Amino acid sequence: MELVTIGEIEAAVTAIAGTAVRTPLLPSPWADADRLLWLKPENLQPVGSFKIRGARNAIRPGVPGVVTHSSGNHGLAVSYVASRLGIPVIIVAPDTTPEVKLAAMRDSGATVLTVPPEERLIRAEGVAAARGYPIIPPFDHRDVIAGQGTIGHEIATDLPGVRVVLVPVSGGGLASGVGTAIRALAPQATILGVEPELAADAAESLRAGRIVAWPVADVQRTIADGLRNPSLSDLTFAHLRTVLDGIITVTEEEIRAAMGVLARRSRLVAEPSGAVATAAYLYHREEMPTGDTVAIVSGGNVDPALLKSVV
């Protein structure tokens, strides 16, 4: 299978300019001296997550409309980009999606259909076929992966001596793109995916050497709603086998604690999915090399009541 190239990611850097924010690397003075932590705050994007990068790179002006399936952040990103291009959007969302994300997608102008989690893909495919619209999937798409890879391009440009990159994993699009860019531009770095223990299908898949899908009901248990995809795709699995050095799994308690640390000590609002990389740094440092470490804060679209409970 042909993997996304650094050339595709470099083209995406140009394509997303003016839509996605080039986020900085924020130092964390409270971190270990031998493992200086830098935060990549994708929660500061206009839609509150990194998903805007892949969405902008994948949506082509002039299409009659687009369809996607999403638990929130990808749908919001697709709707935001499409609305700026004057393109109608239909989003199929699991009925377990937090209301704050459903409301944001509706407010952005999208038509939102909620279905049981196990029906999201087949329903999206049916809507797309009926309307004649292309599907912009959350991760299983070369242009989406290349767009997410611009994060890795920025990390390598701003911190060429980076030693460890911590990246959340769900469907694998973010880790595929970031890993591809880091491998090409900062080959000395160790690239570690991070998953919740309750949705660790990627870790199991890499151990088994094949894709292992988890039951939808199992991955729904994690607080990290953005990481509840039950399986990698063939495309993302091929990337992760090539670019990742390993996967760290974190507990629900560690995720909650990391959200609190990010809010109190770095003044960053992170949703649970956005806090998993920081949780890996805080509680699993012995599993990674020393040196400059980057944790990607992938999103900040969190339910206010949940944020209050962890802060």
Residues forming the active site: 51, 298
Contact 83, 151 (CB under 8 A): no
> If we measure between CA atoms, which residue out of 35, 48, 83, 110 comes closest to residue 278?
35
Determine the residue type at 308.
Answer: K
Contact 40, 277 (CB under 8 A): no
Distance from C-alpha of 53 to C-alpha of 57, rounded to nearest angstrom = 6
Please report, for residues 149, 155, 304, the alpha-carbon distance to residue 295 in angstroms, rounded to integers and kept in the order given.
15, 10, 23
Distance from C-alpha of 102 to C-alpha of 28, rounded to nearest angstrom = 32
Token representation of residue 69: 């399936």
Distance from C-alpha of 114 to C-alpha of 91, rounded to nearest angstrom = 8
Distance from C-alpha of 85 to C-alpha of 63, rounded to nearest angstrom = 10
Residue given tokens 């399986």 in the structure block: 231
Distance from C-alpha of 155 to C-alpha of 172, rounded to nearest angstrom = 18
Largest CA distance in the chain: 57
> If we measure between CA atoms, which residue out of 68, 94, 270, 248 comes closest to residue 168?
248
